[in-house]
Amino acid sequence: MNTTKWAAALSFAATLYLTPQITYAQDSLFIIPKPLVQLAKKGHYIYTTHTDVFANPDFKEAAALLKEHPYLKFEEVKILKNGKHLPKQGVALLKAAKDDPLAQDAYRLEITPYRIVITAHQPQALLQGISTLRQIAYTRKDTKSLPAVWIEDRPAFGYRGLMLDVSRHFLPLSFLKKYVDLLSIYKLNTFHWHLTDGAGWRLEIKKYPELTRFAAWRTDASWKNWWNNGRKYVEMGNPNASGGFYTAEQARELIAYAAKRGITVIPEIEMPAHSEEVLAAYPNLSCYGLPYKNSEFCIGNEDTFKFLENVLDEVLEIFPSKYIHIGGDEADKTAWKQCPKCQKVIKDFDLTDEHGLQSYAIKRMEAYLSKKGRKLIGWDEILEGGLAPDATVMSWRGEKGGIEAANSGHDVIMTPGSHLYLDSYQTNPIGQPESIGGYLPLKKVYSYQPIPAEIELAKQKHILGVQANVWAEYMPTSNQVDYMVFPRAIALSEVAWTPESRKNWDDFQARLQQHYRLLQQFNVNYYPPSNNLSILSSFDMASKLARVTINSEQFQPEIRYTIDGSIPTVNSPIYKDGISLNHSGTVKAVIFKDQLPIGKVQELEIDLHKAIGKKVTYNNKYSSNYPAQKELTLVNGQTGDLTYGDGQWQGFLGDLDVTIDLENPQALQQLKMRYMQLTGPGVYMPAYVKVALSNDGISFKALPQIDNDVPYTDDSLRFKTFIFDLKGHTARYLRITAKNEKKGFMFSDEIVVY
């Protein structure tokens, strides 16, 4: 559509919704996650050149962590004998009295002008109080002076995790320590260490030296280059070998470092899939007995179980965690289907099929871990073919697996790709380092609610908590990990700790502004808020109004906008809280600072068109994995955003073939339809789009097709709008087809008809 022409021809109705700006007192504390109860008191505690630190004997070790508190100088922790009076000055770590109503997982932090007191029943809870105190110091401009406050605080969820994939790109131990430090400052208590995958085995296993002599090293430092160029491993010592591993001793060192900070390290050893590297080193464990053939262990070979049990024996020696993660995701069943040994197991054990075979393998591993006093966690594929009796499920393919598992009485950790996969883009991909795809801005992470409505009340206790995952295919350096993880992990921290009733996006954003100071002190290469704007619109069928919202990553920016197609100026209206339009048009917006525009002008065409709300018949069904708003999607007046997972892009595995019924013959002007391409996850443009018109729904007149001109070899995020000139045509029915030539996913946006 020629926007200026349309804009000139149309009039607009714009309504502003005003909300008061939140203001914050000078001396507020900016704690994330938001404590359960926080009461400001009068005065300040001022650190001097030496501050005494006192601790109950149970908390002596925890007190040592205060050495890492900036500006708190002390030599040795003074042990408080039982029954001794509370010191008059300094910092005291007190054990809660038996009759103190403080919960077992709670801490109390009191800062007064005389002293700082942290009280808890347990060291784990006390450590959370220390994290709060450290964080207060790191987030203040004047670190030596702490405002008086009374805090009582406890977590909403017991499991608060962050995962890191060190297989796709190996990262040094020193970086993992920094990662763990930051977890503890944000009260995340679980580090899920993804140690093995096709791109490299990362943990020393003494019984199987080939795992670290060979399977830990590959031909290219970049995962992408390696993946696209033969995927071969090389021996350690080869001048071009790239990779690495952690010795058992180094793993123990990290576990101890994390434990001191209240963090459990859970190892993940992938099985039965994502194991190309193991099978290259030990090809006898694959169905064909050959390297570089499959990703899956042969389940019909008893040597597989011997190997896995031996590996786990050493893993259990190193890792004291109750939970052990065995992967379980994305097993390709092709080799098992053709393998006589696997088929024999299916027959002998009366299993339904290859899903049953996967379930058989997981159940055996669960029994093994259970015998050793541990618990198995796996990705949600472990539900397929029947869940092992005592397994805990990590729900990653959305929430479905988690809902099913919790409702059937299994423990669950919520980690849906839609909200908690930190390998997705956090802003418009244009200008960003390449990532795997998807679009997950900070606000969306923050919006996550870990207990889905579909879980029965009595089963909600099975949601142990949440975790964000950091898959590192496109994170070749620790700097890039920093960039993708922060600040989104800070939003995760509040999702995991703070009850929904205490969460508030505006308040979070205000507190977050002080946390860049903390990240800077830890040398975190975080993603800074951009000046990009995201303009979204939805259509209200009842009022026939388009409702436009503009989101910014900046805190309380001055956004100016126009609705007449012109470039916003310093005199254009300031955006507050939404714009309503009763006609088509283009919203343009940009941030102003000191009277000048900063960043790019963003725009969104609002199409209040003829097809909105009309009946769409699918001659070819959309994919059940990406139904978006089902039959309403293509004509609901709402366009998709930057990701195909946003509920407005509809996915097709075959051709798109739909007929729209406009209810009566109408003089037409134009039809347009947008597609997306992102080749990484297999999303391609149609080869061409066709439109045919009819008045009776039986005989259609075809218009010239429009061919795609976006190369399939372009691996950046691309959009293309196919525009048909319909001037001079009258029709009631429009049949639209789009050719899915690449047989991957094809994603269609709104079909706009004028």
Which of the residues 152, 153, 165, 197 is marked catalytic? Answer: 197
Nearer Cβ to ligand ACM, position 197 or 607?
197
Site map (CB under 6 A) of ligand ACM, residues 546-585, x = contact: ----------------------------------------
Residue found by looking up tokens 């739909």 in the block:
658
Nearer Cβ to ligand ACM, position 246 or 421?
421
Question: What is the total count of residues that contact ligand ACM (CB under 6 A)?
Answer: 4
Structure tokens at 160: 């608060």
Q: Find the shortest distance in angstroms from Cβ 330 to ligand ACM.
A: 5
Q: Find the shortest distance in angstroms from Cβ 327 to ligand ACM.
A: 8
Site map (CB under 6 A) of ligand ACM, residues 396-415, x = contact: x-------------------
Q: Is 197 a catalytic residue?
A: yes
Distances (CA, A) of 740 to 569, 627, 653: 43, 17, 7
Q: Is the dihedral of CA 348, 349, 352, 354 positive or negative?
A: negative
Closest to 94 measured CA to CA, from 130, 69, 135, 68:
130
- Does 330 engage in binding with ligand ACM (CB under 6 A)? yes
Nearer Cβ to ligand ACM, position 317 or 330?
330
Nearer Cβ to ligand ACM, position 6 or 396?
396
| Backbone conformation region of residue 551, classed left if phi is above 0, alpha if psi is from -120 to 50, else beta | beta
Q: Reduce the DSSP state of residue 418 to 3 states and report it.
A: helix
Side chain identity, residue 683: V
Q: Give the single-character DSSP code of 349.
A: T
Nearer Cβ to ligand ACM, position 58 or 329?
329
Nearer Cβ to ligand ACM, position 438 or 452?
438
All residues at 6 or more sequence positions from 440 whose CB lies less than 8 Å from its CB, including other chains = 418, 419, 421, 422, 424, 425, 426, 488, 643
- Does 329 engage in binding with ligand ACM (CB under 6 A)? yes
Q: Find the shortest distance in angstroms from Cβ 161 to ligand ACM.
A: 13
- Does 193 engage in binding with ligand ACM (CB under 6 A)? no
- Does 379 engage in binding with ligand ACM (CB under 6 A)? yes
Question: CA-to-CA distance for 405 and 698, rounded, in angstroms?
Answer: 48
Long-range pairs for 694-700 at CB < 8 Å and ≥24 separation? 694/731, 694/732, 694/733, 694/734, 694/735, 695/665, 695/730, 695/731, 695/732, 695/733, 696/732, 696/733, 697/659, 697/661, 697/732, 697/733, 700/733, 700/735
Give the pairing of strands 217-218 and 242-243.
antiparallel
Nearer Cβ to ligand ACM, position 410 or 690?
410
Q: Find the shortest distance in angstroms from Cβ 271 to ligand ACM.
A: 13
Structure tokens at 744: 């991957």
Q: Reduce the DSSP state of residue 555 to 3 states and report it.
A: coil
- Does 360 engage in binding with ligand ACM (CB under 6 A)? no
Q: How many residues does the chain have?
A: 754
Nearer Cβ to ligand ACM, position 226 or 471?
471
Question: CA-to-CA distance for 609 and 619, rounded, in angstroms?
Answer: 23
All residues at 6 or more sequence positions from 188 whose CB lies less than 8 Å from its CB, including other chains = 160, 161, 162, 263, 489, 492, 493, 496
| Backbone conformation region of residue 536, classed left if phi is above 0, alpha if psi is from -120 to 50, else beta | beta
Alpha carbon 360 to chain centroid, angstroms? 30
Q: Find the shortest distance in angstroms from Cβ 738 to ligand ACM.
A: 29
Question: CA-to-CA distance for 222 and 234, rounded, in angstroms?
Answer: 15
Q: Find the shortest distance in angstroms from Cβ 419 to ligand ACM.
A: 13
Longest CA–CA separation in the chain, Å? 94
Q: What is the 3-state secondary structure (H, E, C) of 202-215?
A: CECCCCCCHHHHCC
Nearer Cβ to ligand ACM, position 52 or 329?
329
Which of the residues 68, 317, 330, 715 is marked catalytic? Answer: 330
Q: Find the shortest distance in angstroms from Cβ 164 to ligand ACM.
A: 13
Contact 275, 296 (CB under 8 A): yes
Residue of closest CB approach to ligand ACM? 329
Q: Is 61 a catalytic residue?
A: no
Nearer Cβ to ligand ACM, position 330 or 696?
330
Q: What's the distance, Cα to Cα, between the start and end of the chain in Å?
A: 10
Question: CA-to-CA distance for 19 and 2, rounded, in angstroms?
Answer: 34
Q: Find the shortest distance in angstroms from Cβ 467 to ligand ACM.
A: 11
All residues at 6 or more sequence positions from 264 whose CB lies less than 8 Å from its CB, including other chains = 189, 190, 191, 258, 321, 322, 323
Q: Give the single-character DSSP code of 730.
A: E
Q: Find the shortest distance in angstroms from Cβ 395 to ligand ACM.
A: 10
- Does 384 engage in binding with ligand ACM (CB under 6 A)? no
- Does 500 engage in binding with ligand ACM (CB under 6 A)? no
Nearer Cβ to ligand ACM, position 485 or 635?
485
Q: Is the dihedral of CA 225, 228, 233, 238 positive or negative?
A: negative
Which of the residues 169, 274, 419, 609 is marked catalytic? Answer: 274
Site map (CB under 6 A) of ligand ACM, residues 133-172, x = contact: ----------------------------------------
Nearer Cβ to ligand ACM, position 402 or 637?
402
Side chain identity, residue 647: G
Q: Find the shortest distance in angstroms from Cβ 270 to ligand ACM.
A: 9
Q: Reduce the DSSP state of residue 559 to 3 states and report it.
A: strand
Contact 302, 285 (CB under 8 A): no
Q: Give the single-character DSSP code of 704.
A: P
Q: Is 330 a catalytic residue?
A: yes
Q: Find the shortest distance in angstroms from Cβ 379 to ligand ACM.
A: 4
Nearer Cβ to ligand ACM, position 319 or 379?
379
Give the pairing of strands 424-425 and 107-111.
unpaired
Q: Find the shortest distance in angstroms from Cβ 486 to ligand ACM.
A: 21
Question: CA-to-CA distance for 454 and 189, rounded, in angstroms?
Answer: 27
Question: CA-to-CA distance for 639 and 646, rounded, in angstroms?
Answer: 10
Contact 250, 174 (CB under 8 A): no
Q: Find the shortest distance in angstroms from Cβ 163 to ligand ACM.
A: 9
Give the interface with ligand ACM as residue ranges (CB under 6 A).
329-330, 379, 396
Give the residue numbers annotated as catalytic, written as ranges: 197, 274, 330
